[in-house]
């Protein structure tokens, strides 16, 4: 409980060889910084070979490293170096679909979902059109929930399950301490392919897959962590805790940073999660506008309030790279857009500025326009957001196992008890008070 998980988007984290693409050696070079910050685990977005139609979320080999990011040796070194600093390394598993360039798509067509005609009304998340693509060679349609270059695997096929059981062991044997599971709610589809999105995702049989994976994880000590990208409503979230250690709470993430919206969501989350489950809070990732923009509109005081909340609620927390310096979305001109989604997700994927000059990034793959908020300046400034975040991370360790209790306060002030600590968060732009304690606009205090 109380872990601080740091999401690295490796292409934009740190570049070790000046080719404009962040890489695993770059991540390793920043481990001292992440240890200084108080990070317990790094979750890296996909590191596997990929044609990059969806920037690594289209995997062509689950047992290797993308050459642009480094080598297997680099990954082994990163894991070992992180270990010496008590930091775990989690990878991002993409089991819903492969790349159409994965060997399986040619050699093992039975691993995928086929139909002689378009069997239902399912739509692709990326194209908005039918999720069924005609394969002229095979004269059959295949399913793709995402891009046509991302054919969905058939999780009813026991051989697919066997492949992934081996893939899990392969990485756990190498010291990988966890996985974030992409589209965890969508792996298995209705066996009759019935109409309706409820037959494409959130099928109850998905929990059997995770039961098997959890059994594999239990073969290892310490047991690796399984964290699902569970893009479901809060009401539908509890069952995912049967077999996953962590299930991402998108109702929290997708809410606005408003007292009236967030407090009920937090209270509902804590009331509905099964006993013993670890809640998990985050506001940014590689798919959604960064919290400093989306929740704080660029206002650094407001960003600190958001960070304070994420870091003082019970359970684990995820910071997406850059959150710790209140990094805003990047500006990406139309002719630099690289993402296939609409709207494109490039703004939240721009490089992390380590210095004000930005010279550590030479012709980066996505533009680095604004270095006003950068790591170097903020490390040197005791009053920076970075030092604020580090301080809250250190403080949270003192009450990480304590439960949460909402306290009465005035409108806009979120007051809660964590053990013998009281957290006060002014979620307004005005000065506020709580039992004689004055709170500046957006100020968070641990008493
Ligand atoms: O995301 C799943 C998902 O539902 C989101 O793609 C969301 O719908 C999308 O970002 C809206 O633009 C995961 C990954 O996080 C995402 O990066 C991948 O593109 C997607 O799966 C496919 O693998
Ligand atoms: Ca590089």
Whether residue 47 contacts residue 66, with contact meaning beta carbons closer than 8 Å, is answered with: yes
pLDDT confidence bin for 181, thresholds 50/70/90: very high
Structure tokens, 61: 């080999």
DSSP, collapsed to helix, strand or coil, labels residue 281 as strand
Question: Ligand 1: residues whose CB is within 6 Å?
Answer: 54, 57, 94, 125, 146, 182-183, 229, 231, 286-287, 341
At residue 362, the pLDDT reads 97
Whether residue 267 contacts residue 406, with contact meaning beta carbons closer than 8 Å, is answered with: yes
Q: Which helix (DSSP H) or strand (DSSP E) does residue 163 occupy?
A: helix 158-173
Rounded Cα gap, residues 267 and 283, in angstroms: 17
Rounded Cα gap, residues 40 and 37, in angstroms: 9
Tens of pLDDT along 280-325?
Answer: 999 999 999 999 999 999 999 999 999 999 999 999 999 999 999 9
Region 140-151: mean pLDDT is: 98
Q: Nearest ligand to the C-alpha of residue 363? A: 2
Tens of pLDDT along 427-444?
Answer: 999 999 999 999 999 999
Q: What percent of the chain has pLDDT over 90?
A: 100
How many beta carbons lie within 10 A of that of residue 361, not counting itself? Answer: 25
Distance from the alpha carbon of residue 21 to the mean position of ligand 2, in angstroms: 4
- The b/e string for 380-399 (b: 16+ C-beta within 10 A; e otherwise) is eeeebbbbbbbebbebbeeb
At residue 182, the pLDDT reads 98
At residue 203, the pLDDT reads 98
CA-angle at 319, arms to 336 and 46, nearest 5°: 55
pLDDT confidence bin for 1, thresholds 50/70/90: confident
Residue 41 has pLDDT above 90, yes or no: yes
pLDDT confidence bin for 131, thresholds 50/70/90: very high
Distance from the alpha carbon of residue 91 to the mean position of ligand 2, in angstroms: 19
Whether residue 281 contacts residue 270, with contact meaning beta carbons closer than 8 Å, is answered with: no
Angle between helices 300-312 and 385-396 (to 10 degrees): 10
Whether residue 295 contacts residue 302, with contact meaning beta carbons closer than 8 Å, is answered with: yes
Which of 133, 173, 167 has the alpha carbon at shortest distance from 150? 133
Whether residue 395 contacts residue 313, with contact meaning beta carbons closer than 8 Å, is answered with: no
Catalytic residue among 15, 149, 182, 245: 182
> Which residue has the least CA distance to atom 17 on ligand 1?
287
At residue 218, the pLDDT reads 98
Whole-number mean pLDDT of the chain?
A: 98
Number of H helices, E strands in the chain: 12, 17
Rounded Cα gap, residues 433 and 413, in angstroms: 8
> Which residue has the least CA distance to atom 8 on ligand 1?
125
At residue 49, the pLDDT reads 99
Q: Nearest ligand to the C-alpha of residue 348? A: 1
Instruction: Answer yes or no: 182 catalytic.
Output: yes
Tens of pLDDT along 256-272?
Answer: 999 999 999 999 999 99
At residue 76, the pLDDT reads 98
Structure tokens, 298: 């660029």
Whether residue 335 contacts residue 315, with contact meaning beta carbons closer than 8 Å, is answered with: no
pLDDT confidence bin for 97, thresholds 50/70/90: very high
Tens of pLDDT along 68-93?
Answer: 999 999 999 999 999 999 999 999 99
At residue 386, the pLDDT reads 99
For the whole model, what pTM was predicted? Answer: 0.98
pLDDT confidence bin for 34, thresholds 50/70/90: very high
At residue 183, the pLDDT reads 98
How many beta carbons lie within 10 A of that of residue 430, not counting itself? Answer: 10
Angle between helices 206-217 and 158-173 (to 10 degrees): 30
Q: Which atom of ligand 1 is nearest to the CA of 342?
A: 12
Specify the length of the chain in residues.
447
Whether residue 63 contacts residue 50, with contact meaning beta carbons closer than 8 Å, is answered with: no
**The tokens 């857009």 sit on which residue?**
337
Catalytic residue among 229, 323, 324, 329: 229
Whether residue 53 contacts residue 147, with contact meaning beta carbons closer than 8 Å, is answered with: yes
Residue 24 has pLDDT above 80, yes or no: yes
Cβ-proximal residues to 295 (8 Å cutoff; 6+ apart), any chain: 256, 257, 283, 302, 303, 306
Instruction: Answer yes or no: 363 catalytic.
Output: no
Residue 375 DSSP one-character state: H
Q: Nearest ligand to the C-alpha of residue 11? A: 2
């Amino acid at each position: 409980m109380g872990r601080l998980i740091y999401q690295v988007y490796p292409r934009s984290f740190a570049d070790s060889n000046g080719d404009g693409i962040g890489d695993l050696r770059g991540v390793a070079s920043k481990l001292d910084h992440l240890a200084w910050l108080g990070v317990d685990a790094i979750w890296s977005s996909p590191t596997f070979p990929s044609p990059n139609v969806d920037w690594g979320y289209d995997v062509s080999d689950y047992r290797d490293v993308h050459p642009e990011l480094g080598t297997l040796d680099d990954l082994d070194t990163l894991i070992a170096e992180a270990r010496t600093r008590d930091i775990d390394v989690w990878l991002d598993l993409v089991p819903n679909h492969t790349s159409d360039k994965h060997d399986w798509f040619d050699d093992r067509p039975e691993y995928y979902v086929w139909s002689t005609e378009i069997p239902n009304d399912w739509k692709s998340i990326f194209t908005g059109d039918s999720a069924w693509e005609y394969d002229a060679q095979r004269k059959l349609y295949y399913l793709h929930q995402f891009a046509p270059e991302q054919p969905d695997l058939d999780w009813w096929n026991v051989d697919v399950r066997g492949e992934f059981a081996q893939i899990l062991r392969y990485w756990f044997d190498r010291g990988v301490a966890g996985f974030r599971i992409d589209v965890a709610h969508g792996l298995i589809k209705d066996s009759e392919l019935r109409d309706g999105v409820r037959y494409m995702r959130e099928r109850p049989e998905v929990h059997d897959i995770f039961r098997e994976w959890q059994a594999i994880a239990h073969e290892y000590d310490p047991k690796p962590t399984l964290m699902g990208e569970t893009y479901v409503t809060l009401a539908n979230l509890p069952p995912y805790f049967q077999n996953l250690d962590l299930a991402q709470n998108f109702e929290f993430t997708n809410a606005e940073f408003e007292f009236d919206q967030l407090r009920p969501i937090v209270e509902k989350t804590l009331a509905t999660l099964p006993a013993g489950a670890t809640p998990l809070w985050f506001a940014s990732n590689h798919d959604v506008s960064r919290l400093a923009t989306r929740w704080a509109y660029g206002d650094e005081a407001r960003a600190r309030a958001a960070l304070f909340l994420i870091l003082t609620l019970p359970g684990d927390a995820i910071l997406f790279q850059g959150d710790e310096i209140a990094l805003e979305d990047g500006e990406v001109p139309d002719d630099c857009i690289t993402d296939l989604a609409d709207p494109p997700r490039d703004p939240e994927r721009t490089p992390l500025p380590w210095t004000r000059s930005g010279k550590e990034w030479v012709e980066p793959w996505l533009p680095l326009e604004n270095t006003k908020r950068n790591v170097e300046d903020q490390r040197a400034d005791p009053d920076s957001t970075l030092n604020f975040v580090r301080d809250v991370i250190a403080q949270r360790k003192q009450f990480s196992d304590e439960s949460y209790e909402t306290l009465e306060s005035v409108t806009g002030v979120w007051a809660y008890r964590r053990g013998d600590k009281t957290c006060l968060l002014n979620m307004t732009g005005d000065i506020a008070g709580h039992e004689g304690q004055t709170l500046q606009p957006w100020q968070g205090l641990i008493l």
